[in-house]
């Protein structure tokens, strides 16, 4: 059975739970996850995996060590390369998609 995933429905599932990604879709050995971002996460890195951030609602700032922050608005994405320490934060409740290997641990290694 091939199912249709509606992102507005997924948004309803994660309201009130910031930085707790849920699985949206599995594709090959990858996964699309959705997270509510609100406030600040913690500094972390993924040793072996790049991580794609895509803002579907709101705005997110990805803080980086020794380089300028990345500010993403709705409809914008970026890829944080493996090994780069980062710390996401959002002033207002925002919703992002993450495209990443299934084995990636959102909290960092």
Find all residues with CB under 8 Å of 64, minimum gap 6, and list them.
70, 80, 84, 85, 86
Instruction: Find out whether 59 and 77 touch, Cβ atoms under 8 Å.
Output: no
| Segment near a copy of itself (CB under 8 A); pick from 12-20, 37-45, 65-73, 88-96 | 65-73
Q: Which of 49, 85, 89, 93 binds a copy of itself (CB under 8 A)?
A: 49
Confirm or reject binding of residue 99 to a copy of itself (CB under 8 A).
yes
Binding mask 8-47 for a copy of itself (x = CB under 8 A): x---------------xxxxx-x-x---------------
Query: Closest by alpha carbon to 74, among 90, 50, 51?
Result: 90
- Examine residue 6 and tell whether it contacts a copy of itself (CB under 8 A): yes
Nearer Cβ to a copy of itself, position 41 or 97? 97
Neighbours of 85 (CB within 10 A): 14
């Amino acid at each position: 059975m091939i199912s249709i995933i509606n992102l507005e429905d997924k948004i309803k599932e994660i309201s009130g739970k910031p930085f707790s990604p849920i699985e949206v879709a599995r594709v090959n050995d990858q996964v699309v996850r959705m997270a509510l971002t609100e406030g600040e996460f913690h500094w972390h890195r993924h040793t072996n995996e790049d991580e794609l951030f895509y803002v579907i609602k709101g705005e997110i700032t990805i803080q980086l060590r020794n380089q300028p922050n990345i500010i993403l608005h709705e409809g914008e994405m970026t890829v944080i390369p493996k090994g780069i320490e980062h710390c996401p934060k959002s002033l207002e409740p925002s919703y992002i998609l993450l495209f990443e290997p299934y084995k990636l641990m959102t909290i960092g290694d």
